């Protein structure tokens, strides 16, 4: 006669789980490979559009801050440079880059506390310009 194999419920659950996972993996890597490629391409395009917008917005704040600086409106220039820096965030560093802009930013904050608005604007301008250059270099490829 044949042998009857009795499996515990926990083993059955494990087998079902791994079977389902294997099926999902097959579907994701096999059948829907083209759709996943389209989805990935769309996400990459959206990310690139976002990076371009952030770069353009920060560049606009740099330009307007410089214009305010030349017309002796340093306090407004400071706000524009800070806004440009905030838009870029920390996403300007590429691999292997040594960044001294956080130290310059701290210097600008000290200058603001000491009411050296013109110097703070100049320091923040350099911070934003450097970070924009690093951002462009990181995403150029």
Residue 74 is inside which H or E element, if any? helix 74-88
Task: State the pLDDT at residue 26.
Answer: 47
Residue 58 lies in a domain: yes
The DSSP code for 28 is I
Residue 32 lies in a domain: no
Predicted local distance difference test score (pLDDT) of residue 95: 81
Q: Flag whether 55 is in a domain.
A: yes
Determine contact, residues 132/55, Cβ cutoff 8 Å: yes
Q: Would you give the DSSP letter of residue 32? A: T
Residue among 53, 118, 114 at smallest CA distance from 88 = 53
Look at the chain and report how many structural domains it folds into.
Answer: 1
Domain that holds residue 61: 48-139
pLDDT recorded at residue 41: 61
Query: Is the residue at 6 inside a domain?
Result: no
- The pLDDT of residue 140 is 78
Return per-residue pLDDT of the chain as tens, 141 residues. Answer: 555 555 555 554 554 555 554 444 544 444 444 444 445 566 666 666 788 888 999 999 999 999 999 989 999 999 999 999 999 988 888 888 888 999 999 999 999 999 999 999 999 999 999 999 999 988 875
Q: For position 58, what pLDDT does the model report?
A: 93
From the CB of residue 125, how many other CB atoms can be counted at a distance below 10 Å?
20
78 in a structural domain: yes
């Amino acid at each position: 006669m044949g042998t009857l194999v009795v499996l515990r419920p926990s083993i059955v659950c494990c087998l079902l789980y791994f079977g389902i996972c294997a099926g999902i993996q097959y579907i994701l890597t096999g059948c829907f490979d083209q759709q996943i490629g389209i989805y990935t391409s769309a996400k990459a395009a959206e990310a690139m559009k976002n990076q371009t917008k952030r770069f353009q917005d920060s560049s606009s704040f740099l330009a307007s801050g410089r214009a305010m600086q030349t017309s002796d409106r340093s306090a407004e220039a400071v706000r524009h440079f800070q806004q440009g820096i905030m838009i870029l965030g920390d996403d300007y560093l590429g691999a292997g880059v040594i960044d001294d802009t956080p130290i310059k930013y701290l210097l600008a904050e000290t200058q603001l506390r000491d009411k050296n608005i013109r110097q703070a604007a100049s320091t923040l301008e350099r911070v934003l310009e450097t970070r924009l250059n690093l951002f462009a270099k990181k995403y150029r490829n």
